[in-house]
Amino acid sequence: MADWHILAPDGSKSVKDNELILQDNTTYTKDTMNKDHYWDIGSDEDGHHKQVQMPKQAADITLAAGMDGGIYFKETNSRIEGFYRNASEIYQFIPSFLSGTFVPGVAHANVVAVPNSTYGNIYMYLNDGTNSGVTGFFKAAGGVCQSYSNQLIISGSANKVLEFKNDNTDLNIKAKLANAGIAGTYQYRIVYWAM
């Protein structure tokens, strides 16, 4: 990659001697822009993003004068997350995920710990031919997780499969078999956002 020359053109040099300096700057611009953009590729592509890469910010951004919104990354719960800010609020626009397996019993047990200061959705299902499962939601704040289950129906019955516990003791989502629950290894997928 060519080097960038701050002093260009250099008034102390001839036009001929400035050609290399200006060409270096042109090459540097093209090479640098081609990292994230289409640049000098074709009229349909030029100026469009191929991808967006940016370093994390230490804090939420401040919008510049005349700007209506901004996208940025920052670290939350030891992960780099995508955020959006407009004039009135900030929200995480790319959720985080937790996934794994859980074997429920008749007593509530820890499924997985979620990060503090998050909220999200819980999906748990059993691949047993009936697709038994449960959905729910949670909020984790102040070092405790509150989780709630929604009912899914098994073959037309109105019985719960699994239930979550809202015990306010730690950051774990807890679950157990409900009265009509089917034993087995459940898959879980948790989608969450920073508060």
Report the pLDDT value the prediction gives residue 41, as an integer from 0 to 100. 85
180 Cβ contact partners less than 8 Å away, ≥ 6 residues apart: 154, 157, 159, 160, 161
Residue 3 in domain: no
Domain that holds residue 164: 96-194
Average pLDDT for residues 67-84, to the nearest whole number?
90
Q: CA 120 to CA 38: how far, in whole Å?
A: 36
pLDDT(79) > 70: yes
Measured CA distances, 192 to 122, 157, 160, 165 (Å):
9, 30, 24, 18
Average pLDDT for residues 95-116, to the nearest whole number?
93
Backbone angles phi, psi at 25, to 5 degrees: -65, -40
Lowest-pLDDT choice from 65-79, 86-100, 106-120, 177-191 = 177-191
Are residue 162 and residue 77 in the same domain, yes or no? no
CA nearest 102: which of 195, 183, 30, 23?
A: 183
Question: Regarding predicted confidence, which is higher, 102 or 77?
Answer: 102
Answer with the one of 65, 94, 123 that is the final residue of a domain.
94
Are residue 137 and residue 181 in the same domain, yes or no? yes
Are residue 181 and residue 107 in the same domain, yes or no? yes
Report the half-sphere exposure of 134 (CA within 13 A, side-chain side).
25
Residue 2 in domain: no
- CATH code where residue 189 lies: 2.60.40
How many domains is the chain partitioned into structurally?
3
CB distance 124 to 102 below 8 Å: yes
Residue 1 in domain: no
SS3 178: coil
